[in-house]
Amino acid sequence: MPGLTKLWLKDQVGLLPRIPDPRSEEQAGIVVGVARDLSVTTLVAAAKRGIYPLGHVGAPKWCSPKTRAVLFFDDFHISKSARRSMRKGQYRVTFDQAFEEVIVACSEPRPGHWHVNWITPAMKHAYARLFDAGFAHSIEVWDHEGNLKGGGYGVAIGRVFIGESLFSHARDTSKIAVAVLMRHLVEWGYSFVDTKLMNPLMESFGFQEIPRDRFLSMNEKAMNAQGWVGRWEVEIGPEEVATCTRIEKRQRQKRRPPESLVGAYDGVWRSSRHAGPDGPPGSRPGRCRLARPGSQLGACRRARRAVRRSRRLYAAFRLRQGLLSPLQLRTPEMVGAGRADGAVPGAVPARQPDRPEAL
């Protein structure tokens, strides 16, 4: 409280800069200044410095937490329930079609929470101006009747997307909005996503907290890169996004098949489903991490191996019981499992029926 009071007194006499430095020592928790100006130019410049406006009572405050919640696309995870909903085709996703409805829905009271929201009327007008300027974007999830069931909004500057808020009027609709958005950000070459503060929902998506100094250096480099300003359009629907798999780099190396199987399986998959060796048609080589078929092919191979092993074990059991002869075991599976003559090691030969002696 003393630090916040000191910042307030300096703001009253005009000693605080318009856009404060997040590395300055004059801080009160996550608050580094008072946001008196919420114009488009000021908000964009503040985002490049790594600070954002936030305030429930009174004037908005410039905030810069000591740890920042960010998402690197290799760590993104889609829940099973969201995948099932997307496969069913119950919802349609759009970009920048109903920004005002989305921001109003995000500011509505939520069951089980105090009706204290940082999306005040002043913040709504500020982000509406960002939307008109082409920096803010909305994600809408519609049902078949045309009702808005979920979505969210954020700001894209350079190669960074800043997630602001989400809402959901039906199960998994906010997760569907995030999944479709992340897939497009990967395809468009964005560096990472900033959601400011960590919460359980963001943690389930794969967000992680990093120190402020590391975030500021990453943010400055990515935001100064060339970006896109203007309206967005959906290029990949929820049904296709549902087929994406979460494959981290270390998991992908661990599950890599033997070299003898790479050409036999991965080559066939790539030639039939992909335009190039590194991703789906239109993707940038080495960028997409959400649509790799390795885990699905690995599961198929493991299932086939289990079937062959069960057949070998059952045949060995029947051989020991005298229900099969060694000549009946000359199948491709059994020849590979036993000796060259088709016999299973350790198996007891089948008992021959008694024959009468010759007179």
Tell me the pLDDT tens digit for each residue of 29-66: 788 888 888 999 999 999 999 999 988 777 888 999 99
The β-bridge relationship of strands 92-95 and 67-71 is unpaired
Mean pLDDT, rounded, for 162-187: 94
156 pLDDT more than 80: yes
Which of 190-199, 210-219, 304-313 has the lowest average pLDDT? 304-313
Which of 55-64, 109-118, 139-148, 158-167 has the lowest average pLDDT? 109-118
What is this structure's pTM? 0.67
Q: Identify which has the larger pLDDT, 283 or 311.
A: 311
Q: Identify which has the larger pLDDT, 32 or 286.
A: 32
The pLDDT of residue 319: 74
Residues 6+ apart with CB under 8 A from 235: 184, 187
Which of 135-139, 218-222, 257-261 has the lowest average pLDDT? 257-261
**Is 298 strand, coil or helix?**
helix
The torsion angles phi and psi of 33, rounded to 5 degrees, stand at 175, 180
Strands (DSSP E) contained in 178-311 are 192-196, 208-211
- Tell me the average pLDDT of the chain: 77
**Is 45 strand, coil or helix?**
helix
Q: Identify which has the larger pLDDT, 5 or 100.
A: 100
